[in-house]
Structures are given as structure tokens and as C-alpha cells.
């Protein structure tokens, strides 16, 4: 597994099985017609009332450690802000997932800094997957030196926790010229083998950096062979796909498969194909606005319930 032990009270994992969902101050997002819309603060706890036997975990994404341009000169500070929020949750999450672009330029010092700061999160494990910024010079080789702890030399893996089967994928390589990146045949075959041992009633959570549905092809915001992956997931009763890459919250539901993108912890990007912006580069926003566009996500898996409860929380309200 591409995880690491953060050394925070390893016995605590046993105590996590009866975690209730967190209902702190946050903004719940909904998406209608492709446009995310804030429903309002959840301080009252309405949308995700505390439930017994919920597995709760946090998703962070796109930390881009090493980025220091105008759009966010202090990405480490933004990550630490998020970590403070996570550590302050009234009920600690079981673990954290990072959906890619850990680093900005795939440099060893960036991976090292990221790993060092992520260890400040008070969870047992942080599961990571690579983004395209983590595979710039030598594929996943440099990334795996910091984020591969089972030594299988792959950036994809699966694990089970709280009755949920998690699949972490690498969909930032394997591209054909002029197209979007892909999972590739080897990984699709691995997925098929992996899923063969999982009952169709088991909730599945898939982690992949680039969205597993095509959001905006001219910017590479999609996965060339996502249809093959989704076909493998379709027989399962509850599938939740968590993506990063596009630095904003979008959602799509296809039958039993719900796909969600997350905010970044580094800088915002334009909306898909945004008029007047011809490319998916960092967007510099007025002072005081950045914290509203960066954030974390908390998820609760409730037994017997089809969909995961999601709360997206900006760094600053």
C-alpha cells in the first residue's frame, strides 16, 4: 500500500470503528447542471447527522508543494491550515487520502517536504496517489521513493477498511500523443483481478487524480480509458469516485457510481472551458478570497446507506 505510518497512536485504529460522522462548521455543496452550489453551513449538523458505525475519512488534494507563484506563495502554509482544521475535528477521521499532485515539479525535496508536513496530521495513515505533477521527469519512480511502502513499484493499490473496499489508481501516465492520460491495460487488468474478490454489495471508493469522466477534453480533464474502468465498477451497488486535478468541486452521478472532484490546497483553476481563459493555469484571486477556494473534504460511509455523506470545507469561510 502506498501509505505510511505517521506514528500517531497505532492502537487508536481499533477505536475508530464506531466513529460518528462529523458535523462541524462546513459548507455542503450540491451540483445542478454542472454548477456547484453552496447549500450553507452545516454547523447545525443537518445534512450529515451523526450516525453510528460510520467510517469517516478526509480527502485532501493538489497540495502542489514547491509552487510559489502569485496565485499562492505559501502552499505549505495552506496545507498546514488544512491540517489544523483536520486535527481539530471533534471526531478524528480514520485516515486521510491525498488525491494527487502532492508536489509541483516532482522534485525529491518537494516530496520530502510534503511527507514531513503530512506527518503532522493526527491520523495513522495517509494514502496517496500520484498526479501528473508528481511524475514529470521519470514517471512514478521519484514519487514512489517517498510514497510506496509495500515496495511493489506500482502507484496503484487497494485496501479494505470499515467494510469499504478502497482502490487507489494512477491515471496520469499511459497517454497517447495528443490525447488525455489513461489507466493503461496493465492497470485495468489489475483492477479486474482486484474486484473479482469483492462482493457486489461492498461499498467501493475509488481514488484517482484526474477525473474518471470527461469534464473538458481540450484541457486534458478526463481519462482516456475511464469507460473501461467504470464498466468494471458498474455491477457494484455503491461506488464513489474521488478525484482531484481540476481544483474545484464538481459532481456527476451515473447509476450507482457517484464521481466527485475536490478543491485544491494550493490554488484555484478556471471553470471547465471558462470563457476568456484559454488554458487551465493557476488563477490569482484578490487577497482574502483564496481561502474560500481551497479546502478539504470529509466523507462518512454509513452501513446500509447507498451514498457517502460528503462535506466540503473551505479553508476560510
Partner 1 sequence: MSYAFSRATTHPVRAAAILALVLCAAFVVPAIFAAAAAPAPTVDLNIAKFAFAPKEITIAPGTKIVWTNHDETPHTVTSNDKSFASKGLDTDDKFEHTFASEGDFSYICTVHPFMTGVVHVHKQ
Q: Does 177 bind partner 1 (CB under 8 A)?
A: yes
Q: Does 178 bind partner 1 (CB under 8 A)?
A: yes
Q: Does 108 bind partner 1 (CB under 8 A)?
A: no
What is the grid cell recorded at 115?
Answer: 511527507
**Nearest distance from residue 177's CB to partner 1, in Å?**
6
Q: Does 141 bind partner 1 (CB under 8 A)?
A: no
Q: Does 280 bind partner 1 (CB under 8 A)?
A: yes
Among 28, 55, 118, 181, binds partner 1 (CB under 8 A): 181
User: Considering beta carbons, is residue 198 or 285 the nearer one to partner 1?
Assistant: 285
User: Considering beta carbons, is residue 21 or 181 the nearer one to partner 1?
Assistant: 181
**Nearest distance from residue 173's CB to partner 1, in Å?**
9
User: Considering beta carbons, is residue 217 or 289 the nearer one to partner 1?
Assistant: 217
Per-residue string for binding with partner 1, 37-76, x by CB under 8 A?
--------------------------------xxx-----
Stretch that binds partner 1, among 13-21, 86-94, 280-288, 299-307 (CB under 8 A): 280-288
Number of residues that bind partner 1 (CB under 8 A): 26
User: Considering beta carbons, is residue 50 or 136 the nearer one to partner 1?
Assistant: 136
Contacting residues toward partner 1, per CB under 8 A: 69-71, 104-106, 132-133, 136-137, 175-181, 217-220, 278-282
Amino acid at each position: 500500500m502506498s501509505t505510511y505510518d505517521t506514528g500517531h497512536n497505532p492502537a487508536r485504529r481499533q477505536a475508530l470503528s464506531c466513529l460518528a460522522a462529523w458535523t462541524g462548521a462546513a459548507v455542503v455543496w450540491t451540483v445542478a447542471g454542472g454548477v456547484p452550489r453552496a447549500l450553507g453551513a452545516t454547523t447545525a449538523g443537518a445534512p450529515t447527522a451523526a450516525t453510528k458505525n460510520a467510517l469517516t475519512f478526509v480527502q485532501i488534494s493538489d497540495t502542489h508543494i514547491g509552487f510559489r507563484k502569485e496565485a499562492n506563495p505559501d502552499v505549505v502554509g495552506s496545507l498546514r491550515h488544512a491540517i489544523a482544521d483536520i486535527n481539530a475535528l471533534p471526531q478524528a477521521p480514520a485516515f486521510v487520502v491525498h488525491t494527487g499532485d502532492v508536489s509541483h515539479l516532482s522534485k525529491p525535496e518537494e516530496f520530502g517536504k510534503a511527507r514531513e508536513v503530512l506527518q503532522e496530521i493526527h491520523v495513522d495513515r495517509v494514502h496517496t496517489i500520484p498526479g501528473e505533477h508528481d511524475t514529470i521527469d521519470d514517471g512514478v519512480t521519484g514519487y514512489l521513493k517517498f510514497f510506496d511502502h509495500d515496495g511493489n513499484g506500482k502507484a496503484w493499490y487497494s485496501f479494505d477498511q470499515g467494510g469499504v473496499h478502497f482502490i487507489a489508481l494512477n491515471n496520469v501516465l499511459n497517454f497517447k500523443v495528443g490525447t488525455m492520460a489513461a489507466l493503461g491495460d496493465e492497470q485495468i487488468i489489475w483492477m479486474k483481478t482486484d474486484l473479482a474478490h469483492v462482493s457486489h454489495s461492498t461499498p467501493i471508493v475509488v481514488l484517482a487524480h484526474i477525473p474518471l469522466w470527461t469534464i473538458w477534453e481540450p484541457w486534458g480533464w478526463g481519462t482516456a480509458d475511464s469507460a473501461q474502468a467504470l464498466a468494471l465498477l458498474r455491477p457494484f451497488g455503491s461506488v464513489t469516485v474521488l478525484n482531484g486535478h481540476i481544483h474545484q468541486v464538481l459532481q456527476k452521478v451515473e447509476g450507482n457510481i457517484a464521481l466527485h472532484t475536490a478543491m485544491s490546497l494550493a490554488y484555484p483553476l478556471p471553470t471547465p472551458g471558462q470563457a476568456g481563459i484559454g488554458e487551465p493555469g493557476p488563477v490569482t484571486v484578490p487577497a482574502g478570497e483564496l481561502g474560500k477556494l481551497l479546502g478539504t473534504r470529509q466523507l462518512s460511509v454509513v452501513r446500509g446507506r447507498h451514498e457517502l455523506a460528503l462535506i466540503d470545507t473551505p479553508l476560510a469561510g
